[in-house]
Chain A
Amino acid sequence: MATQPSILAFLERLQQVTTFDGLQSLVESLRALYQVDNFIYHSINSAGEPYAALTYDLDWVDHYLDQDFGRIDPVVLGCYQRFHPVDWKMLDWSGKAVRAFMLEAHDAGIGNQGFSIPIRGPNGQFALFTANHRCSDGEWQKFTAAHVQDLILIAHYLNQKALEIERGTDRLPYKNLSPRELDALTLIGSGQNRAHAAEKLAISEHTLRVYLESARFKLGAANTMHAVALAMSHGRIIV
């Protein structure tokens, strides 16, 4: 499975997405980027309407909905109303109905490993992003250890994009960068190291890291340098 940072490639594609069809293609493209069998993004908006972009076999999706497997699916039950990331190993797969469901899922090509990230959106919107794969525990452990923060970020960036498409706007209120975040990006962008940048801003290095992390997330960036580049290209900072 992938060991290179693939989130940058994902984010470049994400920027081009303006429709739900585009979002579906993007989720499909994650498979090659991370060399993982399946990715699933699904959400329930504030009006209770479901939406999904996923790579599972569509016959399985129909069967799942038809059987109303959401009632017993440990992933759904273990993630709904939660906000911590969940390795499928953490879930309770015991019980007769769940075991039967698992066997059917396996036959439909669903992998034995999974990692799911629940997302709480605005006004009761709820979404779930899952990476699913067939491999040994050891391999999966290696993959998640290397990519868990990527998966958490991708989950949230996908959800923001889905909300933007739904509303027909790309202006989410929390995208507002404060002057201090812009100062932090400017200093780092001009080649200052963190210690110097923090000193100039009269803040601790931890505080600087939090400003940079916050700015990174609001800009939809892969890392600090990507955030600097995006802020520059949006004309938010001049370095």
Chain B
Amino acid sequence: MIRYLYADQLDQLPDLKTAMFLDRAQQFQARLGWQVQVDVNGFETDEYDAMNPLYVIWQLPDGTHGGSMRFLPTTGPVMVNDHFGDLTGGVQITSPLIWEVTRFCVSPKVKVTGRVSAALILAGAELGQGFHLNHAVGVFDARMVRIYRALGWAPDITGTRGDGPDAISVGLWDFQAPPFDKLCARAGLCREVSQNWFSRAFQI
């Protein structure tokens, strides 16, 4: 199921929290070779995790982490403005109607990654519409561009740094009309279930 949790709520689900930060280390350090910080516990965290971001997490039936991503409003410090200004045409993207999404991660435990990716993107669309946002701006690796396209909701790429598998891109999603039907089909979920997870998380 999809969980929407602020960082200060993660301690309620310690297994989920542990697995997420371990999986992030696996993906971003081991697999992609990004210059990320991994602590003594093997957790990959950065300064933005300390800003009480909102995580969207796919929780596996055993309670642990299937995949996740992280949201922060662009009115505060965000990775795209702090580190990737060259990929946005030099624009410091700043609006309460635009949130940043980063650290899109799927656990190596997951066999069918497409479904989990689709469920996460679907949850992102739910969040964008539910909170009346206009756009999300994301930082992701080159491989994700293809995955997002295959899921039926590709971001507009504003810039790319590096080549081949090492490339990092910044892209934009528009929340006006996310392709909910397509995303639901890819995720193997019906919209009502997705909406219910969102509503329950925020007690709507």
Among B52, B72, B91, B132, point to the contact of A214 (Cβ < 8 A): B91
Determine whether A152 belongs to the interface, using a CB cutoff of 8 Å to chain B: yes
| CB atoms of A90 and B203 under 8 A apart | yes
CB distance from A22 to the nearest CB of B (A): 23
Among A92, A122, A156, point to the contact of B96 (Cβ < 8 A): A156
Q: Mark A191-204, 1 if CB is under 8 A from B, else 0.
A: 00000000000011
| CB atoms of B52 and A81 under 8 A apart | yes
Q: Mark B165-180, 1 if CB is under 8 A from A, else 0.
A: 0000000101000000
Determine whether A89 belongs to the interface, using a CB cutoff of 8 Å to chain B: yes
Determine whether B76 belongs to the interface, using a CB cutoff of 8 Å to chain A: yes
Q: Using CB atoms, name the residue of chain B closest to A74.
A: B203
Determine whether B73 belongs to the interface, using a CB cutoff of 8 Å to chain A: yes
CB distance from A64 to the nearest CB of B (A): 23
| CB atoms of A89 and B54 under 8 A apart | no
Among A83, A119, A176, A210, point to the contact of B93 (Cβ < 8 A): A210
Chain B at the A interface: mostly helix, strand, loop or mixed?
Answer: loop
CB distance from A42 to the nearest CB of B (A): 18
| CB atoms of B95 and A217 under 8 A apart | yes
Q: Mark A149-186, 1 if CB is under 8 A from B, else 0.
A: 10011011000000000000000001010111100000
| CB atoms of B203 and A211 under 8 A apart | no
Determine whether B15 belongs to the interface, using a CB cutoff of 8 Å to chain A: no
Cross-chain pair count, CB within 8 angstroms:
93
| CB atoms of A84 and B174 under 8 A apart | no
Contacts of A92 in B (CB 8 A): 203
Known A-B contacts A84-B202, A203-B158; the reply to A209 vs B174 at CB < 8 A is yes
Contacts of B8 in A (CB 8 A): 81
Determine whether B121 belongs to the interface, using a CB cutoff of 8 Å to chain A: no
Bound: A83/B6 CA distance, A: 10
CB distance from B164 to the nearest CB of A (A): 23
Bound: A159/B11 CA distance, A: 31
Task: Using CB atoms and an 8 Å cutoff, list the residues of chain A in contact with chain B.
Answer: 81-87, 89-92, 119-120, 122, 148-149, 152-153, 155-156, 174, 176, 178-181, 203-204, 206-207, 209-211, 213-214, 216-218
Name 14 extra pairs, CB < 8 A, besides A214-B91, A214-B92: A83-B54, A83-B73, A85-B131, A86-B202, A119-B96, A120-B75, A152-B132, A179-B90, A181-B91, A203-B158, A207-B89, A209-B135, A214-B95, A216-B95
Task: Using CB atoms and an 8 Å cutoff, list the residues of chain B in contact with chain A.
Answer: 6, 8, 52, 54, 72-76, 89-98, 131-132, 134-135, 137, 156, 158, 172, 174, 202-204
